[in-house]
Structure 1
Amino acid sequence: MTSPGNTATPDHKPRPWVDLLVSIVIPSVILMKFSGDEYLGNVNALLIGLAFPLGWGLFELIRYHKKNFIAVLGLISVGLTGGIGLMELDPQWLAIKEAAVPAVIGLAVLISTRTRYPLVRTLLYNPSVLDVDKIHQSLEEKGCVDEFEDRLLKASYYFSGTFLFSSIMNYVIARWIVVSPAGTQAFNEELGQMTLVSYPMIAIPSMIMMMLIFYYLWRTIRRLTGYTLEEVMAPHLLEKEEKKKESENPVARK
């Protein structure tokens, strides 16, 4: 029997459609359609609607040990939204909160460039995605370490800029959509609309910018080391890719 202390943390597999459904769609529908007195009421709809992203975030943290700065900040953000609604604060505080969360992350990215552990390494240039040891060895052999570090620093600045974009857009959208007093049915409905609108107007452009930053980083690695993407992928990703190819082409295994 395996002792509880040896139980490994299960691998976290990205589930974007589940994330979208639980964190965006369900809360928005509850807030927009069930806030009336004939359904859940303002307070219950707010609590139940926000319980979905909050519960999902806590599940991710506990189940997969995703105890990182951004995940915790996301949970705090959901909690603050609930607090603003329950305490019936001025809607401008919601806009400030919406802008503050990505602004704090962007500031943290900038500050981390002055430390031994820049966040861009943790999020984009890390062993779970790339074979960083192999890349670093090649950079040392070619005498390109300093040039790569300069490029990595630029990537950090670009990365911070994506959060500045999110911060500004969050504030503008919150001030544009949420205008009713907190604690009312209209506030809940507007909060639901803001949640739906923010995904295509903020999340998708931010993801595209992050993909471009990763491409910039990858092009730098390609130019300085001469490796292809497949040659510098993390070993466990290559192993998964090979297994997938074998399962899709049983003839090749014979």
Structure 2
Amino acid sequence: MLDMDADKEGVQPQVQEAAESGGKARRSSLKGVLINVILPVLILDYCSKGSMEPWADFEVGRFWHLGPVWAMVLALLLPITYGLQELIRHKRVDLMSSVGLAGVLLTGVITILVVGEEGSIAASTPWLFASKEALIPLVLAAAVLVSRKSESPLLQTFLYNPDVFDVALIERRVKEAGNESAYGKLLGQATWILAGSLIVSSAANFCLALYFLMPVLLEPVALQQEQYNYAVGRITWWGFIVIGVPLMIALMAVMLRLIRRLGELTGLGRDRLLLR
């Protein structure tokens, strides 16, 4: 009885702290979606019209028509600035922020490489961009699998996060119940499901990029860079809806299964398993 009371006293501050950090995380996620997805898409959609020459005067009465060059620069600058600001503020390297920043920088590099004279787009553009879109989730999937037996498996970053689960309590109860083997198997299954979801996301990203970028090559040369900007915006937006949302739903399903099985292995209720 004394042990249970001690457990409760120790858990209460953690619950309050986790709830506060959870609220901050949700607000940060919404802000991240706004800056990394919604605003860049709107800029690429509505600001890409205008002169191909970056130093030309903006259209009178249509100051938002920045032209394809400045529209792309502004669309990339927002997530880059946000990522660097978060890095400086938290003074640590966050995996997902770093991945997002790397994706934005690669988009900028590819754009510089593929845009030719008079705004023409190189024939290799769809394949280069599609490969970039597929590369990041594929690298993450490989990292998840490689790290599964390390001291800091990436499963803890995506799903089994110590800021969400009371991992110390769970592992103590698992050991007391003699369920270490079943516990290891459960985490292994979650790891493979997570890696598989990322691999599916990689393939879907590749196909989506080709779908939107291939038609750009059929446009007149004078319109190709503008249409390229539109396509990048659509890839970002539809990638979030068609790939990102289902991926999140799949990860939530894995999370619920993890909670259910952990409850069976430890005898703990949901409120004791989670810190929030």
Per the TM alignment, residue 58 of structure 1 is displaced from its structure 2 partner at its CA by 1.9
Alpha-carbon distance in structure 2 between the residues aligned to 1:99 and 1:158: 18
* 2:211 equivalent to 1:198: no
Per-residue Cα deviation, 1:209-251 (whole angstroms, up to 9, x for no partner)? 11111112111111111111101222xx3xxxxxxxxxxxxxx
Which residue in 2 is equivalent to 1:60?
86
Per the TM alignment, residue 106 of structure 1 is displaced from its structure 2 partner at its CA by 0.6
Q: Indicate conservation of the 8 Å contact 2:87/2:93, yes or no.
A: yes
Which structure 2 residues correspond to residues 91-240 of structure 1 after superposition, within 5 A? 91=125, 92-179=127-214, 180=216, 184-234=225-275, 237=276
- With normalisation by structure 1, the TM-score equals 0.83
Which residue in 2 is equivalent to 1:33?
46
Alpha-carbon distance in structure 1 between the residues aligned to 2:97 and 2:76: 16
| SS of alignment partner, residue 129 of structure 1 | coil
Cα distance change of structure 1 residues 65 and 202 upon mapping to structure 2, 3 Å threshold: farther
Per the TM alignment, residue 20 of structure 1 is displaced from its structure 2 partner at its CA by 2.1
Alpha-carbon distance in structure 1 between the residues aligned to 2:224 and 2:102: 20
Select the structure of larger CA radius of gyration. 2
Alpha-carbon distance in structure 1 between the residues aligned to 2:152 and 2:90: 22
Q: Indicate conservation of the 8 Å contact 2:197/2:247, yes or no.
A: yes
Alpha-carbon distance in structure 1 between the residues aligned to 2:159 and 2:245: 17
Per the TM alignment, residue 62 of structure 1 is displaced from its structure 2 partner at its CA by 2.0
Alpha-carbon distance in structure 2 between the residues aligned to 1:61 and 1:229: 33
What are the ranges of 5 or more consecutive residues in structure 1 without an aligned counterpart? 1-9, 238-254
Which structure 2 residues correspond to residues 12-51 of structure 1 after superposition, within 5 A? 12-15=24-27, 16-37=29-50, 38=59, 39-51=65-77
* 2:116 equivalent to 1:81: no
What are the ranges of 5 or more consecutive residues in structure 2 without an aligned counterpart? 1-19, 51-58, 60-64, 115-121, 218-222
| SS of alignment partner, residue 170 of structure 2 | helix
CA RMSD of aligned residues (A): 1.9
Per the TM alignment, residue 172 of structure 1 is displaced from its structure 2 partner at its CA by 0.6
Per the TM alignment, residue 183 of structure 1 is displaced from its structure 2 partner at its CA by 6.9
Q: Indicate conservation of the 8 Å contact 2:259/2:273, yes or no.
A: no
| SS of alignment partner, residue 70 of structure 1 | helix
Alpha-carbon distance in structure 1 between the residues aligned to 2:159 and 2:238: 27
Per the TM alignment, residue 116 of structure 1 is displaced from its structure 2 partner at its CA by 3.1
Alpha-carbon distance in structure 2 between the residues aligned to 1:130 and 1:66: 22
Q: Indicate conservation of the 8 Å contact 1:35/1:188, yes or no.
A: yes
Per the TM alignment, residue 66 of structure 1 is displaced from its structure 2 partner at its CA by 4.9
Give the letter for the 2:26 counterpart: P
Which residue in 1 is equivalent to 2:220?
none
Which residue in 1 is equivalent to 2:54?
none
Cα distance change of structure 1 residues 126 and 190 upon mapping to structure 2, 3 Å threshold: closer
Q: Indicate conservation of the 8 Å contact 1:86/1:183, yes or no.
A: no
Which segment is superposed worse, 16-25 or 176-185? 176-185
The aligned length equals 226
Q: Indicate conservation of the 8 Å contact 2:164/2:274, yes or no.
A: yes
Q: Indicate conservation of the 8 Å contact 1:109/1:118, yes or no.
A: yes
Q: Indicate conservation of the 8 Å contact 1:34/1:45, yes or no.
A: yes
Per the TM alignment, residue 60 of structure 1 is displaced from its structure 2 partner at its CA by 2.0
| SS of alignment partner, residue 14 of structure 1 | helix
Which residue in 1 is equivalent to 2:11?
none
| SS of alignment partner, residue 215 of structure 1 | helix
